Amino acid sequence: MTAGADVLHLTVTETGPGTVRELTGDQLAALLTVPRLVRLTPAGGVRWRITGNQKAGLVRLRTPSGGAIQLLLRTKLPVRNLLFLLSYAPGNPWLHETVTAAATDDLLPAIADLLARVTRRTLEGGVLYGYRTVEEDLPLIRGRIRTADQLRRVGLPLPVAVRYDDHTPDIAENQILLAALRLAAHLPALPVRTGLALRHLGHRFHGVQGLRPGEPLPHWTPNRLNFRYVPALRLAELLLSSRSIQPEDGLPVNADGFVLDMPVVFERFVTAALDDALNHHGVRCAAQEQHHRLDLAGHVRLRPDLVLYRAGRVVSVVDAKYAFQITPAPPTEHLYQLLGYCTALGLPHGHLVYAATGGHASAHTFIAGRPTDHVIRRTDITVTAHGLDLLLPPEALLAEVSALAEKIMSATPSSKGP
């Protein structure tokens, strides 16, 4: 870490003891504008301990006096492992090539290069076209006449108010990819070759309207027509959702950058990989459902990470936790959470899935492949804690996910027989 005349450069790992630095009032105020970016603890006088908060990326904060803080948030995972988590999608034929191509330990250039590689392969089949409903006033009839609008007119009947379906590349999928390519091309410390590749790919989307800054991403749904787009779209959405720093109260912040929320990255990977593994058991995974309630009055909302269905019936529930546990049992609040899910869903068994670190784990860490059962007193509910070793190569990690799927299915009521 070095501090320039106007810019304070800080490097913080997502977990660990952090670093102690002297901070001016302006610098402290700038860091406090985004409360969950890092953790700040007084260390005596004007010294503060700055520790990570499960974030990875690069942020530039502007201070009230006109200075700046450039904050580099490093992940504890190797960049190649992180890229695998980010880019995983079932059936992605070039997944391993993109991960092994990550030759840099810097997160931002690696993600930009990954987006360029995935998008280039995606566009080998051409730019996707779709139908979009258009309403226009034309001097001729095209599609269907908007009768109500046309009848309100007096005098000459032209132009005609019409509605028609236009076959166009200006669809949600292409708008999202184009926005991500433009964002990635402006990331700092980007190799010239990667920047040129991103801009060249952006030129392929001729006729696609760019998204305005701050505009919500358009909705799209995976289907057989856009299947080849799915890996690139998942990565693009992650890039775009992390493109700016916003506080919880929504007030403007003098900050910009790219930040990955590592618990979200882990949760998305577990959802996609476990869904793929459980498909072989005839099980469908529903992520982040919001219609579940704990109480009979329906006031207490529940939103499990994954609810598992077989033939339309709930058979299990899973919650992913990006936490490298160092105690013999899960935190009490995690067990309470799963107890609530199981109670509301009428399930005898729920599952917690933690990040694990393989050989780097301590004796009490939840180690991959060693699930621990926790039978809740005075109930018929069991919560099992599992670990996935994020330091494993892709094939080995997916093998652990498959083993996890088998353990989950062995605990479902329908798997135990009559």
Q: Does residue 8 have a pLDDT over 80?
A: yes
- More confident call, 103 vs 72: 72
Secondary structure (DSSP) of 359-377: GG--TTS--TT--EEEEPT
Identify the pLDDT of residue 364: 38
pLDDT tens digits, 321-361: 998 765 678 889 999 999 999 999 999 999 999 998 654 44
At 90, give phi and psi (nearest 5°).
-55, 135
Provide the phi-psi class of 358: left if phi over 0, else alpha when psi is between -120 and 50, else beta.
left
pLDDT at position 4, please? 44
Considering the segment(s) 264-415 as one domain, its CATH architecture is Alpha-Beta Complex (3.90)
pLDDT of residue 138: 57
> What is the pLDDT at residue 78?
87
Per-residue tokens: 344: 């509301």
Instruction: Identify whether the C-beta of residue 86 lies closer than 8 Å to the C-beta of residue 111.
Output: yes
Does 247 score more than 50 pLDDT? Answer: no
Mean pLDDT, rounded, for 298-309: 94
Mention every residue, 6+ apart, whose C-beta is less than 8 A from residue 212: none
Q: In the predicted model, is pLDDT for residue 297 greater than 60?
A: yes
- Separation between Cα atoms, residue 286 and residue 306, nearest integer Å: 6
**How far, in Å, CA of 259 to CA of 244, rounded?**
8
Question: How do residues 248-289 score in pLDDT, each as one tens digit?
Answer: 444 445 556 778 888 988 998 999 999 999 998 999 999 999
In this prediction, residue 3 carries a pLDDT of 43
pLDDT tens-digit series, residues 139-197: 556 556 666 665 566 555 667 666 666 788 999 999 999 999 998 898 777 889 999 99
pLDDT score for 88: 82
Residues 55-95 pLDDT 10s: 888 888 888 888 888 888 988 888 888 888 887 877 665 56
Mean pLDDT of 409-415: 75
- Left (φ > 0), alpha (ψ -120 to 50) or beta: where does 104 sit? beta
Strand ranges for 278-391 from DSSP E? 284-287, 292-293, 301-302, 306-310, 313-321, 349-356, 372-375, 382-389
CATH 3.90.1570-classified regions of the chain: 264-415
pLDDT 10s digits, 372-403: 899 999 999 999 999 999 999 888 999 999 99
Tell me if residue 329 falls in helix, strand or coil.
coil
Residue 151: φ, ψ to 5°: -70, -20
Q: What is the CA radius of gyration of the chain?
A: 25
Beta pairing, strands 349-356 & 313-321: parallel
* DSSP state string for 114-180: HHHHHHHHHGGG----EEEEEEEEESS--SEE-HHHHHT--SS-PSEEEEEEEEES-SHHHHHHHHH
Distance CA 325, CA 366 (A): 6
Whether the CB-CB separation of 61 and 34 falls below 8 Å is answered with yes
Cα–Cα distance between 389 and 366 in angstroms, integer? 10
